[in-house]
């Protein structure tokens, strides 16, 4: 099966002239004459980037998804190819309704008529991994039913194995292959694909995102109906809205387009920096807008997560960018260990300034984030910046945000919209609010530990004396003195902070 799939891939690659990507390398120069003689009948009139995009579309949904991810890696691809791959969409024909019925009846163990009060055989959406049908639950609730595409697991398994082989070749043939970590990118891609193949995981993602925005006036997330969910089936609330790409229709409904764009920026930064859990597939097909101007999120198969370290690094970089503090950007990279320790901060600062300074004080319509990212990645290559595979999805999401923002409100000033939110978030992380928050979070631990201290000390004193015991006791005493000093300083800091806040309030 894998050999047959490889043969098909090679045929498609040859048909679209993708051999030129490989034959351009010096190590395989001897093959050029042979391939040219075998391909005398080909007429390759289209640019190479267009041919690559069409080849990926011909190879199927997994390669389309990989192309979408690669479009964000402008450190890995030339600009023309990255721009063309960004046009890839999941345009996949639906699978027959007879297979839908077979899957549902196997999952539920009974006839479809006994599961739903009504079920529409024609899908309302069809993507690479699953498709969606409308239905009514037994109590009459309108629902959307997502069904996994039959046989998709084996297709993905074989294609991902071949992608690993290709990544290995990239590392072998390209001098910068190891720095760009193509195998780590494929591993990250594979992990998210595996998540998409278990609709219970997607249901959990939707539930988490809904809980995160339960009080939001800007974003709606469908409720999951858990009693009807399984690994191959997800049933959720039916959401009604207008696709975000239909701007004129939204205007006709009285939606404030400028406010909608600003809300989109805040929703994105809230997901990334407050929650560290963000929707990573925000193309127009996955976003609706209701009549009240609220976003409706759909399709939760690809979600990104960030650690506190990642969030803090990104927030410092974003805020430094917005303040034009390029030295701080350079220092943040050094502190994170993403550039060699012997990197000259002033040289790195100058390179970053050359990338970012031309784009400030300009509306979104005059900024190409694709070109900015390209220049940033060129700078990262020059200074040997370590590529972070866990941020690939965030890069992809940023490009999606750029495209959406350009369609919704090209006059949006992204910097002025995002800066106040980031400053507030940073204040909550490292300001006086953070001190109170951390104390509140640690309070339960102290309430458990403090009452036990006399008993633990008595037990320790009851043990036979020894040199080791005396050394441990002295170490404990030193630690207690250190903690006491720390508590005293923290108390003074809190007192000063409160006094400062009161003084500022009075002024």
> Active-site positions?
281
> Is residue 145 within a helix (H) or strand (E), and if so which, with residue range?
strand 142-148
**Cα separation, 322 vs 319, whole angstroms:** 5
The SS3 of residue 122 is coil
The SS3 of residue 205 is helix
Q: Which of 130, 199, 390 is nearest to 278 (CA)?
A: 390
HSE toward the beta carbon, residue 410, CA cutoff 13 A: 6
**Cα separation, 50 vs 46, whole angstroms:** 6
Q: What is the CA radius of gyration of the chain?
A: 28
**Cα separation, 421 vs 429, whole angstroms:** 12
| CB-CB contact of 144 with 116 (8 Å) | no
Query: Exposure of 171 by Cβ count < 10 A (0-12 exposed, 13-18 middle, 19+ buried)?
Result: middle
Cβ count within 10 A of residue 60: 18
| CB-CB contact of 147 with 131 (8 Å) | yes
Q: Which of 274, 135, 130 is nearest to 203 (CA)?
A: 130
**Rounded to 10 degrees, what is the CA torsion of 424, 428, 429, 435?**
150
Q: Count H helices, E strands: the chain?
A: 21, 11
What is the separation of C-alpha 453 from the centre of its chain, rounded to a whole number of angstroms? 45
Q: Which residues pair with 344 in a beta bridge?
A: none
Q: Tokens 């994170």 — which residue?
A: 336
**Which residues, at least 6 apart from 301, have a Cβ–Cβ distance to it below 8 Å?**
129, 130, 192, 195, 196, 202, 205, 281
Q: Tokens 């030193």 — which residue?
A: 478
**Cα separation, 172 vs 174, whole angstroms:** 6
Q: Going by DSSP bridges, is the β-strand pair 142-148/130-136 parallel, antiparallel, or unpaired?
A: antiparallel
Q: Which residues pair with 297 in a beta bridge?
A: 287
| CB-CB contact of 404 with 463 (8 Å) | no
Residue 282 sits at φ, ψ, to 5 deg, of -90, 50
Task: Tell me the CA distances in angstroms from 265 to 146, 286, 293, 414, 431, one per residue in order.
Answer: 29, 16, 14, 8, 23
| CB-CB contact of 221 with 263 (8 Å) | no
Q: Which of 122, 159, 161, 119 is nearest to 138 (CA)?
A: 119
Quote the DSSP letter at residue 151.
T
């Amino acid at each position: 099966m894998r050999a047959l799939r490889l043969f098909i891939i090679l045929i498609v690659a040859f048909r679209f002239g993708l051999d030129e990507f490989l034959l351009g390398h010096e190590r395989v120069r001897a093959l050029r004459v042979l391939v040219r003689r075998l391909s005398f009948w080909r007429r390759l009139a289209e640019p190479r980037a267009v041919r690559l995009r069409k080849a990926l579309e011909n190879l199927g949904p997994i390669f389309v998804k990989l192309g979408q991810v690669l479009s964000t890696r402008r450190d890995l691809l030339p600009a023309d190819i990255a721009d063309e791959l960004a046009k890839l969409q999941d345009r996949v024909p639906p699978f027959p309704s007879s297979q839908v019925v077979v899957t549902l009846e196997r999952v539920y163990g009974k006839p479809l008529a006994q599961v739903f009060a009504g079920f529409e055989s024609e899908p309302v959406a069809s993507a690479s991994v699953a498709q969606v049908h409308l239905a009514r639950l037994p109590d009459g609730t309108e629902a959307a039913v997502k069904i996994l595409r039959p046989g998709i697991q084996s297709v993905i398994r074989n294609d991902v194995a071949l992608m690993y082989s290709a990544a290995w070749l990239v590392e072998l043939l390209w001098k910068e292959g190891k720095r760009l970590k193509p195998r780590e990118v494929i591993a990250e891609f594979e992990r998210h694909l595996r998540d998409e193949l278990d609709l219970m995981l997607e249901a959990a993602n939707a539930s988490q995102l809904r809980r995160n925005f339960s009080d939001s006036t800007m974003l709606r997330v469908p409720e999951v109906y858990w009693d009807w969910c399984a690994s191959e089936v997800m049933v959720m609330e039916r959401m009604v809205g207008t696709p975000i790409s239909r701007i004129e229709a939204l205007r006709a409904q009285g939606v404030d387009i400028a406010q909608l764009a600003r809300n989109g920026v805040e929703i994105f930064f809230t997901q990334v920096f407050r929650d560290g859990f963000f929707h990573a597939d925000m193309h127009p097909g996955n976003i609706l807008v209701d009549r009240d101007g609220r976003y409706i999120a759909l399709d939760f198969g690809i979600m990104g997560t960030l650690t506190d370290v990642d969030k803090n690094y990104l927030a410092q970089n974003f805020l430094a960018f917005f303040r034009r503090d390029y030295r701080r950007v350079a220092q943040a990279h050094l502190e994170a260990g993403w550039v060699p320790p012997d990197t000259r901060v002033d040289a790195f600062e100058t390179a970053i300034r050359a990338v970012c300074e031309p784009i400030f004080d300009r509306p979104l319509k005059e900024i190409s984030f694709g070109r900015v990212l390209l220049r940033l990645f060129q700078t990262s290559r020059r200074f040997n910046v370590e590529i972070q595979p866990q941020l690939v999805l965030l890069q992809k999401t940023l490009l999606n945000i750029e495209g959406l923002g350009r369609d919704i409100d090209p006059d949006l000033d992204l910097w002025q919209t995002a800066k106040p939110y980031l400053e507030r978030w940073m204040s909550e992380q490292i300001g006086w609010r953070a001190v109170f928050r951390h104390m509140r979070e640690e309070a339960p631990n102290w309430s458990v530990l403090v009452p036990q201290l006399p008993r633990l000390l008595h037990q320790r004193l009851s043990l036979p004396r020894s040199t080791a015991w005396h050394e441990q006791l002295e170490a404990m005493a030193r630690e207690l003195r250190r903690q006491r000093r720390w508590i005293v300083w923290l108390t003074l800091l809190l007192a000063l902070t409160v006094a400062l806040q009161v003084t500022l309030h009075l002024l």
